[in-house]
Structure 1
Amino acid sequence: MMSFRNISMYYFVCVAVHGITLADAATFSIQNNCPYTVWAAAAPGGGRQLDHGQVWDLNVSSGVGGARIWARTGCEFNESGQGKCQTGDCGGLLQCQGYGLPPNTLAEYTLNQFDGMDFFDISLVDGFNVPMEFSPTSGGCNRGIKCTSP
């Protein structure tokens, strides 16, 4: 694996995550390219509603291990951020404080781990709810991964 700090991810080959290098951190730019609204979620990081074409820049500290980003679908939240999602729900909260419930397609990553390297993958261990692409955009690594169907 090569070290990277700029990351791109596409949910539903609809939500895109692009990374930007910071001193001791990475920024994941999560973009919804889906023709419908998704509620992007991250642990650590929280969550946000993304209509088609919208972007959420998520800043993550270096040294993060076991982190996930996923899309939730069919969500309804009230003004205080309480609600429910059909897929990927995380305790009925807009601002996730833990992992989402299956089914949800996962982008997983660890930063600055063994020999300072970063690692990333797409996992269907929790099922499949949206196609996704995950790609680094810096550090010499320019080949991403994608999962368009289960």
Structure 2
Amino acid sequence: MASTSMSSVLLLLVATFAASASAATFTVKNNCSSTVWPAAIPVGGGTQLEPGQTWTVDVLAGTTGRFWGRTGCSFVGGSGHCNTGDCAGALNCTVSGQPPTTLAEFSIGGTEDFYDISVIDGYNLPMAFSCSTGAGLVCTSPTCPEAYRFPDDDSKTPGCSGNSNYQLTFCP
């Protein structure tokens, strides 16, 4: 009986370590002079960030998703509306935001990750996006040369080593 309990504890510790080893941490910061309501799918829903505040989201390996900033939002009890980036009136998004939205897209692979900025769905906020081991991308206008601007634009996806940490800043 004691060896079964010890085996269960060891298995739990190994599973916990494996889960934490295959994750990336995203730190989202609002450097804008007004409130931004960042959203993320499928990993984090959404939140309110006043100027200077940050939001941290852990993302498991094998996850592909996006972050975007929403502006002009008003929420009561988890539902409301945003002027840009609205996601069906929800504070915690489960669907992509309505254009225009500047997107920070990612694919966490475990051994190698990929990330980009996209203005294919329009542009609503300047942003900077980088990982701890890769290139930093900055997009401050709708014609951003470092962003995807049309669907077949495939030259702007930097990679970085797996389990990297990411920094996303609105109004860099």
Match of 1:17 in 2: none
Which AA in structure 2 matches 1:105?
T
Match of 2:148 in 1: none
- Percent identity reads 53
Which AA in structure 1 matches 2:129?
F
Report the Cα offset of residue 81 of structure 1.
0.8
Deviations 1:67-108 (A, max 9, x none): 000000000000x11100000000100000111000000000
Match of 1:83 in 2: 80
Report the Cα offset of residue 23 of structure 1.
1.0
Structure in which a larger fraction of residues adopt helix: 2
Match of 2:108 in 1: 111
Which blocks of at least 5 consecutive residues in structure 2 are unaligned?
1-19, 143-172
Aligned length: 122
Greater displacement, 104-113 / 38-47 = 104-113
Which blocks of at least 5 consecutive residues in structure 1 are unaligned?
1-21
Match of 1:63 in 2: 62
Deviating 4+ runs (over 2 angstroms): none
CA distance in structure 2 between the partners assigned to 1:104 and 1:39 by the alignment: 12
Match of 2:50 in 1: 51
Match of 2:36 in 1: 38
CA distance in structure 1 between the partners assigned to 2:87 and 2:25 by the alignment: 22
TM-score by length of 1: 0.79
CA distance in structure 2 between the partners assigned to 1:89 and 1:149 by the alignment: 20
CA distance in structure 1 between the partners assigned to 2:112 and 2:98 by the alignment: 29
Secondary structure in structure 2 of the residue aligned to 1:37: coil
Q: Is 1:26–2:18 an aligned residue pair? A: no
CA distance in structure 1 between the partners assigned to 2:66 and 2:109 by the alignment: 15
Select 1:133's aligned residue among 128, 135, 139: 128
Select 1:145's aligned residue among 102, 125, 137: 137
Structure in which a larger fraction of residues adopt strand: 1
Select 1:72's aligned residue among 49, 54, 70: 70
Aligned-CA RMSD value: 1.1
Which AA in structure 2 matches 1:93?
A
- Structure with the bigger RCO (C-alpha within 8 Å, sep 6+) is 1
Report the Cα offset of residue 117 of structure 1.
1.5
